[in-house]
Amino acid sequence: MIEYCVLALLQGGERYGFELVRTLSEVPGMVTSEGTLYPLLSRLRRAGVVETSWRESPSGPPRRYYRLTSSGRAVLEAFSGEWASFRDAVDHFLNQEKAA
Amino acid sequence: MNDSSLHPLAQDYLKRLKKAAASLPRARRKELIEEIEAHLSEALPAAAGETEALNVLERLGKPAEIVAEASTGQAPARAGVNERLAIPLLLIGGVIVPVLGWFVGVVLLWSSRIWTLRDKLIGTLVVPGGLAAAVFLFLVPAGTRTCSGGSGTRRNPATGKLVRFSESNCPSYSTLHVTLVIIAAILLVMLPILTSIYLSRRATRAEIAA
């Protein structure tokens, strides 16, 4: 699931690793440890759904920026649709349970 | 990168991470260490107090945990040459080399770890032969089928009068028959194409989850 959250975060434009990791870890219940997100970012890059480039930082060492590829955009779009119907299906059963 | 710009506890952490990551492939190990080093230099100023440093490292997680995550999918289900060949072979292999071309596609499909059993069944059964089914069932017979026949006049042997005739050995089709054949042809073209799109989407998804 977190994979798709990363792709969704990149919809608004490119971000660098630390920025992505902090944004995700600040949402409670999303991430257990920040460090494990870096291997996940690497997997997304190898799958071709994000691409990276190094950029100078105003302070400190250069940063690796991540941005969506067109295939990443397509994957995210497909997921959004499936997620909506999955969520509705689960809600359907949860609400049924309540009503019973 | 300059290690001395890092907090002493961060330097110690990196050392432990490098040791834990020894089992990773070289490129992946290098990438991971670069990223964690960049993280530490952003998250933890060299002059930070010990409590702050411990908090940052705690949020980051244990080196072993991070390396374990980096090792998942180490023999990854990635689309390789086989997968990239399987999809076009399933679709048009049978047109280029009848039967065999498609069959090689099927073997590649079933030997891949990237697709699930369901994907493989769909890839094989929708439609066996791929586009070859449409080509050989409809295009080839339509091109080679000729009918002989003609019209003219001939003498009726009984009366000796000239009579007009027209005849043909072409079978005559009803409108319903023709419609059904056209629908079948469209399905036989569309279904293999849709299956190819489906298989390549499933391959991309498996890569992301790996």
Q: Which residues of A touch B73 (CB under 8 A)?
A: 43
Look up residue B92 and give its amino acid.
Answer: I
Omega cis (within 30) before B181: no
Say which CATH number the domain at A23 has. 1.10.10.10
Query: Distance from A12 to chain B by nearest Cα, in Å?
Result: 20
For residue B11, the distance in angstroms to the closest alpha carbon of chain A comes to 15
Distance CA B54, CA B200 (A): 45
* pLDDT for res A77: 93
Token pair in block for residue B20:
């834990």
Check pLDDT > 60 for residue B146: no
Planar angle of CA A92, A96, A97, nearest 5 degrees: 120
Cα B98 to Cα B92, B106, B130, B188, distances in angstroms: 9, 13, 11, 16
Spatial contact of A78 and A98, defined as CB atoms under 8 Å apart: no
Residue A100 has pLDDT above 90, yes or no: no
- What integer pLDDT is reported at residue B2 of this predicted model? 47
Give me chain A's average pLDDT, please: 90
CA torsion, points B96, B98, B101, B107, in degrees to nearest 10?
160
The structural domains of chain B, with segments of one domain joined by +, span 3-71, 81-141+170-209
Higher pLDDT residue, A36 or B81? A36
Most B CBs within 10 A among A43, A53, A63, A83, hence the mutation to make, goes to A43
Instruction: Count the domains in chain A.
Output: 1
Lowest-confidence segment of A40-44, A67-71, B148-152, B184-188 by average pLDDT: B148-152
Residue A13 to chain B, least CA–CA distance (Å): 20
Number of alpha carbons in the 13 Å side-chain half-sphere of residue B120? 13
Distance linking the first and last C-alpha atoms of chain B: 30
Q: Where are the beta strands (DSSP E) in chain B?
A: 149-155, 162-168
3-state secondary structure of B164: strand
Mean pLDDT of chain B, nearest integer: 83
Q: Which residue reads 């980051």 in tokens?
A: B60
Q: What is the pLDDT of residues B27-67, one digit of tens each?
A: 899 999 999 999 999 999 888 899 999 999 999 999 999 99
> Which of A82-86, B43-47, B158-162, B166-170 has the weakest average pLDDT?
B166-170
Per-residue pLDDT, B191: 93
Which residues on B lie below 8 Å from A61 (Cβ)?
A: 1-2, 37-38, 41
Using the predicted structure, report yes or no on whether residue B149 has a pLDDT greater than 70.
no
pTM, 2 dp = 0.55
Name the residue facing B60 among A17, A34, A40 (closest C-beta): A34
* Token pair belonging to A14: 């490119």
| CB-CB contact of B189 with B95 (8 Å) | no
Query: Which tens digits make up the pLDDT trace of B1-32?
Result: 445 688 999 999 999 999 999 888 888 999 99
Domain containing A54: what range? 2-99
> Is the predicted pLDDT of residue A38 greater than 60, yes or no?
yes
Which residue type sits at B133?
A: A
Name the nearest CA neighbour of A61 among A29, A27, A24, A18: A18
Decide: B112 and B86 in contact? Cβ < 8 Å.
yes
- Give the torsion sign (CA, B131, B132, B138, B139): positive
What pLDDT was estimated at residue B145? 54
- Banded pLDDT at B88 (limits 50, 70, 90): very high
Is A34 within 8 Å of B69 when comparing Cβ atoms? no
